[in-house]
Structure 1
Amino acid sequence: MKKLETKFTTIRKYYMEHYTELRTYVIGKVRNPEVADDIVQNVFTRLLSLDGIITVETLSNLVYTIVRNLICDHYRHKKFENEYAGYVCSLPCSVQWNVTPECDVAEIKEILECGMARLNEKQRMIYRMNVYDGLAVSEISKTLNMNYKSVENRLGSARKEMRKYIIRMLA
């Protein structure tokens, strides 16, 4: 237990003495105080979650290594965001802002209800409990007092029938 107290004490002491210095360094690299605060916070969070032995002699090097890696991660993420933004902006307007749905919620609900009406009673009940109530197969089997495999098979066949029906209706 003494090692853990020493580790946390060492990190706390380093944090108290070098926080502003580290924050200033990171602000100089990323040019954004909010991002710098996040990076510095993540540095100390990672330090606290490390399993190895942390000593006063190795702490400074470890901190700046973690800072360097987090700054690289930040710029790598920013590069990806910029590339994606460029890709989205390069799309033609018809592709980019196509917001007219092919069918609305009421139509989809009607298709689902008609499809479920085609199922037998047990399949319909199991399918409804799974889709509308969000119950898992195990929960449905307990609720209906049925065998797990039986519920699983009926749900599978109901899904297959529904899939065929929906594809046929939307084609």
Structure 2
Amino acid sequence: MPTAHPVAELYADHHHWLHAWLRKKLGCSERAADLAHDTFVRLLDREGLVRPQEPRAFLTTIAKGLVANHFRRQKIEQAWLETLARLPQAEAPSPEARTLILETLIAIDRQLDALGPLVRRAFLLSQLDGLPQAEIAARLGVSVPTVKRYVAKALVACCFADAD
């Protein structure tokens, strides 16, 4: 008799538990179901999955990352909706453009999150606050050439993310 796929076994043994755990965290059964599903999809995307010794801890680790991403996305969506609400009606983008802009903001956030905190902070101070490099260097306690490298690294990460 063939052995079951490790993900199938994890699913059969722990899906109900994971869904209940996520439901407690999120307060929403439907969203919990989505994230439980996403957890197992992540496992299917992995090559060479071995059976974890502590399956619930293993699944919890993956699910926590998905929950964090969910809340992060919610914050970005909320900020985007607030920005749209402040725009005059004549300047409001089309529904298609709104969706594309939101997806772009989420992709940029993901790219910036992958950078170190100083790189991210230097980039945001430069691009959003418009601070000169010397002031950014003073705030971060680094040299101006380091600020230049940080900003360049962040720009490359954001602008050429799809080139990978």
Structure possessing the higher radius of gyration over alpha carbons: 1
Q: TM-score if structure 2 supplies the norm length? A: 0.50
The TM-score with structure 1 as length reference comes to 0.48
